[in-house]
Amino acid sequence: MEIYNQDEFKLYKDQILDKIKNGAVFIHPTDTIYGLGCNAQDSEAVNKIRKIKQRYKQPFSVIAPSKDWIFNVCKCPNKAECDKWLMRLPGPYTLIISLNDKSVVAKETNNGLDTLGVRIPNHWFSAAAKESGVPIVTTSANITGDSFMTSIENLDDDIKNQIDFVIYEGEKKGEPSKIVDLTKEKSEEKSR
């Protein structure tokens, strides 16, 4: 397992983005906590994350390449409400949207649902999704039910042995993002 800091990420960005596009499973920082990620369009990589997390039924969220990508893939029952929340991005929100095209992610990402959780973290790593042009799975870096990773020291050994690399920037003290359901006429905010 390789560990990159922000400067090393910038230095090796093209190679790292190629790894992401080609199915690498990795840990990445966000504006809230560390995420376990992969190319959300790669079924094999997504299934690897499901196995690592021991999470088989719940859908995963993605870091969207851009707001335009979200606009293009979602259908919204209340456009004004969707626009209001999209204007808050980047930020610590996961927006649950209805998809107008389920093929934008591998069916393993959202278990074939008509909905998808999308994020654009207020964090430099969001550029990786934008520059790679692919949505990136983002789910807490832990085995389901265990505490999420806050530093490299508390990264579970089972996870450590199954990932390709970590983009690390020190201890995180955040909480998971706030979930906002935009699939209904009136949005609903949920805490995790």
CATH number, position 80 = 3.90.870.10
Model pLDDT, residue 29 = 95
Which of 150, 148, 170, 152 has the alpha carbon at shortest distance from 160?
A: 152
Q: Report the alpha-carbon distance of residue 94 to residue 73 in Å, rounded.
A: 15
Q: CB–CB of 98/113 below 8 Å?
A: no
Model pLDDT, residue 188 = 60
Q: CB–CB of 55/48 below 8 Å?
A: no
How many domains in the chain? Answer: 1
User: Pairing state of beta strands 178-181 and 26-28?
Assistant: unpaired
User: Pairing state of beta strands 2-4 and 165-167?
Assistant: parallel
Residue 64 contacts by C-beta under 8 Å, 6 or more apart in sequence?
A: 70, 118, 119, 120, 129, 135
Instruction: Give, in order, the Cα–Cα distances in Å from 39 to each of 81, 84, 85, 121.
Output: 29, 28, 24, 16
Question: pTM of the full predicted structure?
Answer: 0.92
List per-block mean pLDDT (blocks of 10 residues) for the chain, which spans 192 residues: 95 97 97 95 98 95 95 87 93 94 95 95 94 95 91 93 96 89 74 50
Model pLDDT, residue 185 = 66
Query: CA angle, 28 as apex, 168 and 70 as ends, to 5°?
Result: 150
Which range marks the domain in which residue 138 is found? 2-190
